[in-house]
Structures are given as C-alpha cells and as structure tokens.
A and B are shown apart, each in its own frame.
Chain A
Amino acid sequence: AQKVTQAQTEISVVEKEDVTLDCVYETRDTTYYLFWYKQPPSGELVFLIRRNSFDEQNEISGRYSWNFQKSTSSFNFTITASQVVDSAVYFCALTPNTGNQFYFGTGTSLTVIP
C-alpha cells in the first residue's frame, strides 16, 4: 500500500520563527520519489523539491531545507526565519517508480503571522 500522512493540519507561527512540516510515508517499493508542493492562497500548485529513495542527503535551498530519513519513512520540510509569503498549504507526495499514480498527503496549512 502507498500512503502519505501529514499529521499537522494547521500550523501558525510568528514571522521569523522556524517551522517544520512533517511528512510520513508508506510504500513497499524500494525505488520511489518524494515531493513537496506549495499551494499559496492564489491556488496554483508549485513544485518545490523531488527526492528519490536512493538519495538521503538533506537539501537546503535558501530558507528551505528538507530532511529525508528512510529509517523513519519521513521527509520533513523546514522553513527557517519564516515570512508572511510562506503562508500556504504544503503537500507532500509519493510516487513509486513502477507505478502510475501519485499519492498526496492531505496538506498542512501554514499561516505566518506578521
């Protein structure tokens, strides 16, 4: 079975605080890809990052960083020094290499308070 769980439904932080969005996944495939997407209030879905199952290196892009841990089946996303523009719904997703479908979590709504 393939499943993505984002247990945090809503998070509020004050501007400049750090925040971590959790993502836990389930898959029986040995080769798979993990993703994060951002959906700002304007509604579009923006691709942020892709990770394959063989690459457990953490990645940093500006204020964004991602921590992929196969041992705990997690792919967490941290925003450092949050800004109001980070307010959005963030979706974690999984696709097995052999499959045709994507499996999305239910999303975490982040509100950054000025």
Chain B
Amino acid sequence: NAGVTQTPKFRILKIGQSMTLQCAQDMNHNYMYWYRQDPGMGLKLIYYSVGAGITDKGEVPNGYNVSRSTTEDFPLRLELAAPSQTSVYFCASRDRVSGNTIYFGEGSWLTVV
C-alpha cells in the first residue's frame, strides 16, 4: 500500500536555488494538500487542489507554486529558496467520498542555508 509518496525525504538547498518536491498518491483521491510544519509548530496550509487542473492558495502560499496536471501528482515548487522556507513539508490526499479522512505522506525535510 503506497498511499501518499513524497520525494525527496531530505534536501539541503542554498539560498536562491529552486527545487520541486514531488508528491504522488495512488488512492484516486481528488483532493490533495501541501502543508509545512516549522520546528515545534503546527501545520500550515500552503496550497491545495480539489481536482486535476484546479489549485488554490492556503494560508502561506508566498514563495511556492503548485500544479495538478493529473489526479495522482501534486508537485510543490520552491522558487528562490530562502532560510524562512526551512521546514518539514507534508503532502496529503483526502478521501472526499468516504469519510473525509486526510492521509499524509512521510514528509520532506528541507533546509535552506
């Protein structure tokens, strides 16, 4: 059972670099989310998508971009990385049809130096 798969698990970026965090789910969920979790803090919503071709901003979208070309994939792009983007990033998908449960990937630890 793959569920929600995130890559990479760990990454160190230099200030100003760009990168894409990959997220894929195999549960045929329409809803997908990206959260960030700063050390010792709760979850903040970056972007979400309710289906292929549809994305919307969450609480903290600045410095990020997303796309949703397929139901399975929801990549998060960081442009011009800044130290403030050092965080753990969680991708999640939601079973909107049965129970509304949100399932998380294992997280991607990103450090910007």
Contact = CB atoms under 8 A, between A and B. Distances in A.
A104 B42 contact: yes
Contacts, number: 48
A47 B100 contact: no
Interface stretch (B13-21, B63-71, B73-81, B101-109): B101-109
A20 interface: no
Contacts of A50: 99-101
A104 B106 contact: no
Name which of B43, B56, B107 has the most chain A CB atoms within 10 A of its CB: B43
B88 interface: yes
Interface string A83-114: 00000000101010100111011110000000
A45 interface: yes
Interface in A12-55: 33, 35, 37, 43-45, 47, 50, 52
A35 B58 CA distance: 20
B43 A91 contact: yes
B41 interface: yes
10 contacts: A33-B99, A33-B100, A43-B106, A44-B106, A45-B90, A100-B50, A100-B56, A101-B45, A102-B45, A104-B42
Interface of A: 33, 35, 37, 43-45, 47, 50, 52, 91, 93, 95, 97, 100-102, 104-107
Given A47-B102, A50-B99, 19 more contacts: A33-B100, A35-B101, A35-B102, A37-B104, A43-B88, A44-B104, A45-B90, A45-B104, A45-B107, A50-B100, A91-B43, A95-B102, A100-B48, A100-B56, A101-B45, A101-B48, A101-B58, A102-B45, A102-B102
